[in-house]
Structure 1
Amino acid sequence: MDPVSLRRPVARIARPAMSPAQPLPRAVPRVGLFGGSFNPAHDGHLHATREALRRLRLDKVVWLVSPQNPLKTRSGMASFADRFASARRVAAADPRIEVSDYEEQKNLRFSVDTITGLARDPSRRHVWIIGADNLIQLPRWKHWLRLFHACPVAVIARAPYLERAGLGLVARRFAGARLDERQAHVLADLCPPAWVLLHHPLHPASSTAIRLRAEAAWQERSK
């Protein structure tokens, strides 16, 4: 399939951005929720976050450092303290990024509990930000349908998953709620389910590659 065709809307959302009876004031902050292991955090996370801030016109993005992803093995996973510290170091480059230990403090292990809980706050407009790889595997997540009904969702490009994400089970299930990416700036104002797939220049940084380089360097020093 021609990748360009994925940029055209599957279906436009034929409903008002907000209910006329309960409009939110313009001063309400627009906040992105970006969860992950950050094992470790790197410039790729920063690049994707800045793209989301720009394209979605968000006021800030919260990095939610996961205590332990249920779908990932503990092998090779740094401690929460180390991963949280790495996220804070990288996020320090942009004051619009907040690093949160919300899941650790609340003893949460599933995104559905985190996102639905935070999205209930009426003083903010929320957007859940995930990578294209996570959109593909989302049907494996606990109560994944509830996630798409909790708040609008922005799916950010991540090679080599982008084309598959636009054609997968979740994309087909919510085809009628998909927003033209040229209208991504209004996503935070929409009632869920609503989502957009964002194309943007990819960053070469990878947590896996960083860990492999660190392990190789450690082995070299140990000789």
Structure 2
Amino acid sequence: PAVTVVAMVLGWAAVLVLPVVLRLPYAAGLVAHAVVVAAALFFAAWSGLADKRLSPPSLTALLLALVTSVGLALVSLASEPATIAVLVTLTVLFAAAGLRPGPAPFTAPAALCHATALACAIGASAGRPPHHTALLVLAVPAVAALIASRTGGSRVTVPVEVAGAAAGLLALALAAPEPPMLALVLSLCGAVTAATALRPERRAAGWAAAALFLLATWVRL
């Protein structure tokens, strides 16, 4: 396994610098990085089909995919169409890898993070103000709550809930300058939290839902 891990890291580094060495166009470089992410995720998700735990090579591939995806997302910011295309691609790739039990605790929340960035990018591309973009971002906590309800008790649940909560906080921050929109976002967050509280192991979330509804009422005053 150690030799495999070293070979993977060296191969990953070589592929990443290849577009620069060959002076490939910007779009070709993005595609090359996306292929690296896809290949690493494929290896991490399907190299050990019978094992729910990641082997060292699979874990290495997963970490390389995560690191490459962050770099790819940052590089894509130079172009608006590229940003949206890259974030859509990354969301789909990580969501697909999240269907496998081994990498799911890492890939499922990563997909939600990329989806959050995608919602922000779409809002900015459409020329919408931040408090309108907050409504797009709220789709992520809703999806996270749905996923968590279907994976209750597994290793995926908590990471997904954390990613959804982070997206909810971002939505609140985006809506904060506009009190009417903030009240709406608080109410929607309360609805998502209340739905989460319907699960037996998350009854305590009902208190958070009540607090969110109370805050929404106070903001409206």
**What TM-score comes out, normalization by structure 2 length?**
0.23
Question: Which has the larger helix fraction?
Answer: 2
Question: Which has the larger strand fraction?
Answer: 1
Tell me: higher relative CO, structure 1 or 2? Use CA pairs within 8 A at least 6 residues apart.
1
